[in-house]
Amino acid sequence: MTLVYQSTRDAQNQVTASQAILQGLATDGGLFTPITYPTVDLNFDVLKHASYQEVAKLILSAFLDDFTSEELDDCINHAYDHKFDTPTIAPLVKLKGQYNLELFRGSTIAFKDMALSILPYLMTTAAKKHGLENEIVILTATSGDTGKAAMAGFADVPGTKIIVFYPRDGVSKVQELQMTTQTGTNTHVVAIDGNFDDAQTDVKRMFNDEALREKLATYKLQFSSANSMNIGRLVPQIVYYVWAYAQLVKEGDIQAGDEINFTVPTGNFGNILAAFYAKQIGLPVGKLICASNDNNVLTDFFATRTYDKRRPFKVTTSPSMDILVSSNLERLIFHLLGNDAQKTKDLMDALAEKGQYSLENVDETILELFAADFATEEETAAEIKRVYEENHYIEDPHTAVASAVYKVYTERTGDARPTVIVSTASPYKFPVVAVEAVTGRSGLTDFEALEQLHEVSGVPYPRAVDGLETAPVLHKTVVAAADMQKAVETYLGV
C-alpha cells in the first residue's frame, strides 16, 4: 500500500508522493501532507556507519514509496555529489555546549541546497512516471536563499522553466548577486517592490488561479512549486536529522535511544517541520526549539495559541526568516487538529480574512514537543561574537539566532540534553553582519567584508562567492508587487 498525501484543506484530495511532488501545492489551496507515517528501521548500530546517501535512501524510500529503488538511487546520486564541498555532505561540528549541523556546504551555501539539489530529479522522475507532456514552470517566491538554490537545481533541466521573485530591498547584496548572475536558458529572476510575504502571497494566488491554469495548459505549461510547501522539499530535509543523530552515536557522545534537542532558525516552518516528521518515525527527539528573529509571530503563537500576522514587518540581519505568514505551520496545525481538513481550512480562511486565528482542542502531546523564543538584533550579533570568542568559529546570523535562543532556553529550563543547532547558512553569505559582530568594523561593503571574514575565520572561500563580484548581471527586471502575474505571462509568452 502506498503512503497517502492529503491536502490540509480537503480530505477528498489524496495523492501519492510522486503526484504531490509534481503538483507542488494542492489546487484547493492546501498543502499535501502525510496522514500516516511509514515504518522505518532506525537501527543506529547500522546507521552510524552509513553514508549520507545511504541515510537518504532509507528515508526517501519510506516516504516517497511510489518511486522505485533505482529511481531513488539515481536521484540521490545526482543530488549529493561534488556539488557539496565535503563528502560527508552535512558535517556535525562540536562546539562548547552545543553541536552545529552545517547544512550550508552545497552549491549556494544555504540549507536550501539540502533539498533543492534533489527536487529537480524527483520532479522530472515523477513527470516521466506519469507521462506528463506539459513543460513544468517552477514559480517561486524567495526571501533570498530558496530562489538561488532552486535555480541552481533547475538551471538547464530539460522540460522545466523557473521564475523567481524576490523582495528588492529584503536580501543581502551577496544573495542578490547570486540570483541576478544566474545562468541557464530556462531561468528568470524578477525583483519586486514589496516584501517576501507580498511575493509569497501572490505566488500562492497564481497557483490557485483556475483561469491562469487553464491558459497555461493550452500552451502545454503547468506550474509547480520549489518552495517548502512542496513535500518534495520536506522529505529530503528529514534525512539530516537522522544523519546528525547517527553522527552523535558514532562519536560516542550519545547512546542509541538517548534524547537530543534540535534548535532550528525558523521562517516558513519547513525545516523544523521536517524535524517533527523525524520524531514521528521514531527519532529520539526531546525538544524542537523554534527560533525566530524580531519577526516573532511564531514565538507568540506557541505562547498564546493565537496566530496573529497583524504586526509590522521588520527587515533584519537574518532576512531568510523575515516572514509573518509561515506557510508550513499549516501542516502542523492540521496535525494539531487531528488531521482535520475542514477545521484547518476554517482557520486558514480566518487568517486570510481577519489576519489571525486561535487554536482550541489541540493534541497536547504535539504542542509539548515544541519550545519557542526569539533573538533580537543585538542578541544575535552578541551571539556571533560569543561563539567566535569561545570556539574560533563564525556563525551566520540565522544560525546565531538559533544559537542565542538555545543558550537562553538551556539556562532557563536546565535542559541539559545534547542539542544540535541547525546551521542554515555560511557566514560568507552574510559577511557584513558576521564581520561587524566579530570585529566591530562597520560600513564595509559586502566584498570588503568577504575578505575580512576570510582573514578572521581562516575558512576557505566557498565556490559560491568566488568571482561573484565580477560575474555579469543577467537579470534586471523589477516590477510592482501587483504586476507579478503580468511578469510571468510576459516571460512565458502566453
- Asked if residue 331 binds ligand PLP (CB under 6 A), the reply is no
344-373: contacts with ligand PLP (CB under 6 A): none
Let me know: does 468 contact 178? Beta carbons within 8 Å.
yes
Q: Looking at beta carbons only, is 249 or 274 nearer to ligand PLP?
A: 274
Specify the residue, 280 or 424, whose C-beta has the smaller distance to ligand PLP: 424
Give least dist CB 98 to ligand PLP, A.
Answer: 17
Q: 418-434 burial by CB neighbour count: b if 16+ within 10 A, else e?
A: bbbbbbbbbbbbbbbbb
Under rule CB under 6 A, residue 105 binds ligand PLP: no
Give the one residue of 181, 182, 320, 344 binding ligand PLP; rule: CB under 6 A. Answer: 320
Spatial separation of the C-alpha atoms in residues 287 and 290, rounded to whole Å: 9
The only residue of 15, 17, 244, 321 in contact with ligand PLP, by rule CB under 6 A:
321
**Cα 197 from chain centroid?**
15
Q: Is 398 in the site for ligand PLP (CB under 6 A)?
A: yes
Q: In this chain, which stretch among 37-45, 72-80, 261-269, 298-306 interacts with ligand PLP, using CB under 6 A? A: 261-269
* Beta pairing class for 160-167 and 135-141: parallel
Dihedral class, residue 19 (left if φ above 0, else alpha if ψ from -120 to 50, else beta): alpha
Nearest to 108 by CA among 98, 117, 121: 117
Contact stretch for ligand PLP (CB under 6 A) within 119-127, 212-220, 262-270, 277-285: 262-270
Q: Whole-number minimum distance, CB 289 to ligand PLP, in Å?
A: 13
Cell 486570510 belongs to 352
Is residue 425 involved in binding ligand PLP (CB under 6 A)? yes
> Restricting to residues 193-232, which ones interact with ligand PLP according to CB under 6 A?
228
Grid-cell match 519557542, residue found: 372
As a whole number of angstroms, the distance between CA 442 and CA 478 comes to 29
The single residue among 271, 292, 317, 380 that binds ligand PLP, judged by CB under 6 A, is: 271
Cβ atoms 425, 433 nearer than 8 A = no
266 contributes a contact to ligand PLP by CB under 6 A = yes
* Least distance between ligand PLP and beta carbon 334 (Å): 17
* Calpha distance 288→285 (Å, rounded): 7
The answer to whether the beta carbons of residues 326 and 291 sit under 8 Å apart is no
Binding mask 141-170 for ligand PLP (x = CB under 6 A): ----x-------------------------
* CA distances to 51, 66, 250, 361 from 58, in Å: 11, 14, 18, 35
Contact flag: residue 120 with ligand PLP (CB under 6 A): no
Binding mask 60-89 for ligand PLP (x = CB under 6 A): ------------------------------
174 near ligand PLP, rule: CB under 6 A: no
Q: Using CB under 6 A as the criterion, which residues of the chain lie in contact with ligand PLP when the complex forms? A: 110-112, 145, 228, 265-271, 320-321, 398, 424-425
